[in-house]
Structure 1
Amino acid sequence: MPDPADPAQPRGGRSQDGEKPPETDAERRRRRAQFLRELHEAKALRDRVQPRRARAARMRQQMRMRTFRW
């Protein structure tokens, strides 16, 4: 069994037996962009479902920004 901590192994934990090639930067960026889109959508949904909590969070953020020193 391949050692996951071995730096000689390709990323993704697969062996070099032709199962799956290492992930490219473009694939990683595409997956990251998809994740961030879904995260933003989930946050927007939560804000619509819990407007009081969303308003309180906005107020706390505004207070943090007001008291922040440059």
Structure 2
Amino acid sequence: MPKQQPSDDEPVEDPVERRRRRAVFLRELAEARELRERVHPRRTKVQRLRQAARMRTFRY
């Protein structure tokens, strides 16, 4: 997929600001996962096992 060119009314994104916002997002995502694991430990374990099984499918 080709990269989109910024339009005239869109400011060019600062890479430093983008990395900072991404770090905040990933931190909040990890926090949400931890909370979900505390609230629904069995469901989280099942999800983790299913993900591991999916990953094994693609390894030879």
TM-score by length of 2: 0.72
1:19-64 Cα deviation digits (max 9, x unpaired): xxx5411011101111110111111110111001011111111221
> Residue in 1 aligned with 2:53?
63
> Residue in 1 aligned with 2:8?
8
Q: Across the two proteins, how many residue pairs are aligned to each other? A: 55
1:51 paired with 2:41, answer yes
Tell me which of 18, 21, 29 is aligned to 1:31.
21
1:2-28 Cα deviation digits (max 9, x unpaired): xxxx822233xxxxxxxxxx5411011
The structure with the largest helix share of the pair is 2
> Is the radius of gyration larger for structure 1 or structure 2?
1
Unpaired runs of at least 5, structure 2 = 1-5
Unpaired runs of at least 5, structure 1 = 1-5, 12-21
TM-score by length of 1: 0.64
